Amino acid sequence: MTRRLLRVVLAEFDIAEGSAVALGRLLRDDGVEVVYSGRLGTTEQLVRTAEQEDPDILGVVRGASEPEGLAEALPEVLLFAVGNGPSRFENAFGTLEEAANWVSGVRSHTVETPSDRVR
């Protein structure tokens, strides 16, 4: 039986490009497949990227604002956000380490579930 990697797409929203790199390294070192999309400026760009990359999880490193309607547009994808201040994301974290620990916990529960790419 082969273990497949959890696939996470990381995007930056309303924040300097390169902000998600440290989180991507933490996840990669923990055995997660990371796709770094860079800075995306609209919810539509996030949705299109997620549709193209077919992630198990979409992580948004955000600044002062956050994408509107992302959860509704991607109901099959787990979402999380990292940033300061209040967030409407169900899984919102203040630090990169908290987000990485959450992803590691998700991985332990989904590693045996085939992704849509395999089904």
Between CA 89 and CA 81 the distance in angstroms is 6
Between CA 113 and CA 19 the distance in angstroms is 30
Nearest to 99 by CA among 85, 84, 82: 82
Tell whether the model's pLDDT for residue 117 goes beyond 50. no
**Percent of residues, the chain, with pLDDT higher than 90:** 66
pLDDT digits (tens, 9 = 90+) for 23-72: 999 999 989 999 999 999 999 999 999 999 999 999 999 988 889 999 99
Return the ∠ at Cα 55 (arms to 63 and 51), rounded to 5°: 85
Between CA 86 and CA 88 the distance in angstroms is 7
> Which pTM does this prediction carry?
0.84
Concatenated DSSP letters of 1-32 = -PPPPPEEEEEEESS-TTTTHHHHHHHHHTT-
The predicted pLDDT at position 56 comes to 94
